[in-house]
Structure 1
């Protein structure tokens, strides 16, 4: 038996011993849901821990295991679990009702807060999710420009709908040339006509971006990108150059800040000083409730307005658009995110990045630690991660084993690891102490399955 089989088997057995009730629920879930869940992002092997409650920076599962939460529902809960101000706002609204067949003042209040914070925002529209925000933002761009094509970056995730569910996780066999990536549908059921209108370029390569824009400028409605894609930052000058090129050719620039809005009060566009035409939002702005939004200028948003002589040109509605509980929870969350809170999250994020780097260095493991502000991430590769191709050089087995052993030690990472406003230095210390033990145990496995990482 090799080191991988021996050590990982022990980790799995320990996990299963600690999560017996979760296994029972998982077995029941297989009978009633395909794949045992309705949220692929939370699936894991051998099975996920089923969470029962959260408070502050901790969560508990059905087996009674407590974790330091460094996931916060994929970055949504920037104030942690059951924040008093959010709970107070929710309870007050519940006493008045949960949803109505008409607008409430709460959506106006949340819209005003977003406009006050985000450089690109003059007007706002709300949706029930980030996926729908991106969907509507792209259609808005197409309606405004009267063009059909869009450009997205290889490896970028913008939610699950046809036009942007392209080249999210292409395999090496599917990818095509690095400077001219293939357009690979992430899911079955996407029509070829949709694929034809979505162009794919590598992130952080301004030369390819400019070439693709020039070649398609007459048919191109928008470029959509995440300013911070999958935890790695834009190269110096990249966002500025994309903004300059899109403006030159009259192409709209969409920033997807569903995840990265949390890096500053005004989002990544404030951090990097680049203002897009449209910004999509979600996650934290709902205070833990389902939400999405997109913001833009008054001129572009006119496509929805009854002030046009011909009436609105776009017709999006939805029973749970501007859901009152999300509106009040979102407003309470934004009000609590003071400059001091951002500074604290930045500081703790840096402590996590520095601590993890030191642990890997002490073990002579040449993996990289990335992230910005409150985000941190181990990239299990020797290469500098600047785009999807370099990200794919990372050994995902190392990540999966690290996450699983961390769960055994009471640390909950999963996707988009981050610190929150309620994360403490004690949480960081616990996480780093656990990470040191995990890396020590996994070093023989890493040496066996990815020997290039071990000096």
Structure 2
């Protein structure tokens, strides 16, 4: 069995060789049984149009390609019009999914050329096998994931655990170790998503596992404090200068919900401001203009609040002022216009998605202070860019900060912290303050010890390693993208990165919305075929502390192969990008 860190996939039935760069290559058709078993029928040959020709095709294939009668399955090569991508999906001799190549392609071509000449139907062409792009390969490689999806959809809406769905079905993960994911079909992937950026140490870090096991032996959930919540709170207060006190909850959604309530209670103002394209969880106060259709979103300098989901309170949008990202003049005008009714400005730095400017965050601090609004930094994602989060890098002290993801060590978590005079509204140890926050599993002890163990690994050296590797990745992909005519670009900061098919600068929601989404699905599938796991939309990917230079180099090399076939499949990509660039 091959080692996943070496860039190979474990498969007991196939050897691994490189696919040569030749004008034509061989792909394979899967058949359910070997000729010696009597189990294969002409109807099981995919892509040969009618029964008579299928039977003749089977006869010729059996004549030239035998297999052990004891084998559970066999595979036959057919001529492909286009060469498969390097490490093309195929079936091995024991019916296991594998990444297989053929070192002597010309010999195989000579052996199958006559099959096309002798029959009225040509052997199966590459487009037929691939089912429009790489979906065919995706399906062929993940039969157990398909089975799991068919099971899940009977009892779960959409068969998925949340809002995201990757057609035709998501991969089901069996286990995770270090920087690798293993799916239920036995394939290994290098993880560049890291659970939506949350797994900064990678999967199964020994320190986290040890802390969790120790806590499990003491108690899982006891209904009262165990001391571990204070230890994590103290560590976060030490790291983040703006946080005097912190209250834990169970998710980033809860964190922003309570931050908004704190701001309204403290200022006695009803409305909040947020930025177009900013996602702060799934509650009515913030799920406005997350990804609005541009034709409904109003002018760029004064965006219209657009509900992002059905079922929201009718007045929800009216309680939100939507701001354009990185437009100081427009933001200043809107804040002045609503200064008597805005409790806070909720700001996600977008360090992994846009080309951000620290000066813009500094401008927000000046404006909110001038108009007596609270500045709330949503650092649920951006806290991973440095020991003190993005606010330390841009030298801004917000009034409140929301946290999540990495502070839970892989377990559900959220937190809101900030100035003592604001946070003390949550203090129920004295006279009633009129504001409450509770949750059965808030500050769960297992989460607390996992989070503390994670932070103990994240010293200055760890962040330096992560951020330097992130710079290397972005630099390598920039050079890769410059070598091809298609418009693709990478943005990000620290250990975060996003890939867009776009020509112009990516400075805000609308410029990102203009990116061409058509090639994304095929690009993701091409990545999967090469053992690379990225987010479904190529946005907000993240490195972990156990990701190495070898894994990053493999990603860079893969994209130099991915861009040309993705562009060919899309066809209009180059034209669309050129039109957006004004050429």
TM-score bucket (shorter structure):
over 0.9
Please say if residues 306 and 312 of structure 1, whose CA atoms lie closer than 8 Å, have aligned partners that are also in contact: yes
Please say if residues 156 and 229 of structure 1, whose CA atoms lie closer than 8 Å, have aligned partners that are also in contact: no
Matches within 5 A, 1:380-395: 380-395=501-516
Shift >4 Å, 4+ stretches: 3-8
Equivalence for 1:23: 146
- Secondary structure of 2:507's counterpart equals coil
1:38 aligns with 2:177: no
Please say if residues 359 and 394 of structure 2, whose CA atoms lie closer than 8 Å, have aligned partners that are also in contact: no
Shift in Å, 1:303 = 0.8
Equivalence for 2:523: 402
For residues 277-316 of structure 1, give each alpha carbon's deviation from its aligned partner in whole angstroms, at most 9, with x where no partner exists.
Answer: 00000000000000000111111112112365x4232111
1:432 aligns with 2:556: yes
Deviates more, 1:124-133 or 1:233-242: 233-242
How many residue pairs are counted as aligned between the two chains?
451
- Distance in 2, Cα, partners of 1:289 & 1:392: 32
Deviates more, 1:73-82 or 1:203-212: 203-212
- Distance in 2, Cα, partners of 1:115 & 1:126: 13
Question: Which consecutive unaligned segments of at least 5 residues does structure 2 have?
Answer: 1-81, 83-125
- Secondary structure of 1:293's counterpart equals strand
Shift in Å, 1:399 = 2.1
- Distance in 2, Cα, partners of 1:78 & 1:323: 20
For residues 314-352 of structure 1, give each alpha carbon's deviation from its aligned partner in whole angstroms, at most 9, with x where no partner exists.
Answer: 111101000111100000000000111111111111111
- Distance in 1, Cα, partners of 2:478 & 2:577: 13
Please say if residues 130 and 281 of structure 1, whose CA atoms lie closer than 8 Å, have aligned partners that are also in contact: yes
Q: What's the TM-score once normalised by structure 2's chain length?
A: 0.75
Matches within 5 A, 1:270-281: 270-281=392-403
1:155 aligns with 2:277: yes
Residues 292 and 5 from structure 1, CA distance in 2 versus in 1: closer, same or farther, beyond 3 angstroms? farther
- 1:248 maps to which of 370, 373, 378: 370
For residues 91-111 of structure 1, give each alpha carbon's deviation from its aligned partner in whole angstroms, at most 9, with x where no partner exists.
Answer: 000111111110120000000
Residues 342 and 230 from structure 1, CA distance in 2 versus in 1: closer, same or farther, beyond 3 angstroms? closer
1:49 aligns with 2:171: yes
Residues 340 and 380 from structure 1, CA distance in 2 versus in 1: closer, same or farther, beyond 3 angstroms? same
- 1:313 maps to which of 423, 434, 459: 434
- Secondary structure of 1:165's counterpart equals coil
Shift in Å, 1:248 = 0.5
- Secondary structure of 2:175's counterpart equals strand
- Distance in 1, Cα, partners of 2:236 & 2:358: 27
Shift in Å, 1:447 = 4.2
- Distance in 2, Cα, partners of 1:59 & 1:311: 49
For residues 141-169 of structure 1, give each alpha carbon's deviation from its aligned partner in whole angstroms, at most 9, with x where no partner exists.
Answer: 00000111000000100000001000111
- Distance in 1, Cα, partners of 2:393 & 2:570: 36
Equivalence for 2:200: 78
- Distance in 2, Cα, partners of 1:177 & 1:307: 48
- 1:225 maps to which of 343, 347, 351: 347
- Distance in 2, Cα, partners of 1:71 & 1:79: 12
1:108 aligns with 2:223: no
Please say if residues 119 and 269 of structure 1, whose CA atoms lie closer than 8 Å, have aligned partners that are also in contact: no
Question: Which consecutive unaligned segments of at least 5 residues does structure 1 have?
Answer: none
Q: What's the TM-score once normalised by structure 1's chain length?
A: 0.96
Equivalence for 1:422: 546
Deviates more, 1:349-358 or 1:118-127: 349-358
Equivalence for 1:121: 243
1:184 aligns with 2:306: yes
Equivalence for 2:496: 375
Matches within 5 A, 1:253-268: 253-268=375-390
- Distance in 2, Cα, partners of 1:251 & 1:165: 20
Equivalence for 1:95: 217
Residues 146 and 406 from structure 1, CA distance in 2 versus in 1: closer, same or farther, beyond 3 angstroms? same
- Distance in 2, Cα, partners of 1:423 & 1:94: 29
User: Relative to total residues, which structure has the larger helix share, 1 or 2?
Assistant: 1
Deviates more, 1:316-325 or 1:364-373: 364-373
Please say if residues 446 and 453 of structure 1, whose CA atoms lie closer than 8 Å, have aligned partners that are also in contact: no
- Secondary structure of 2:462's counterpart equals helix
- Distance in 1, Cα, partners of 2:280 & 2:518: 25
For residues 184-236 of structure 1, give each alpha carbon's deviation from its aligned partner in whole angstroms, at most 9, with x where no partner exists.
Answer: 10111112222211110111111121111111111110000102265214335
- Secondary structure of 2:469's counterpart equals helix
- Distance in 2, Cα, partners of 1:131 & 1:284: 15
Shift in Å, 1:32 = 1.1
Residues 96 and 149 from structure 1, CA distance in 2 versus in 1: closer, same or farther, beyond 3 angstroms? same
- Secondary structure of 2:541's counterpart equals coil
1:411 aligns with 2:535: no
Matches within 5 A, 1:201-216: 201-216=323-338
- Distance in 1, Cα, partners of 2:473 & 2:169: 27
Please say if residues 68 and 431 of structure 1, whose CA atoms lie closer than 8 Å, have aligned partners that are also in contact: no
- Secondary structure of 2:280's counterpart equals coil
- Secondary structure of 1:170's counterpart equals coil
Shift in Å, 1:60 = 0.4
- Distance in 2, Cα, partners of 1:324 & 1:18: 40
- Distance in 2, Cα, partners of 1:220 & 1:160: 21
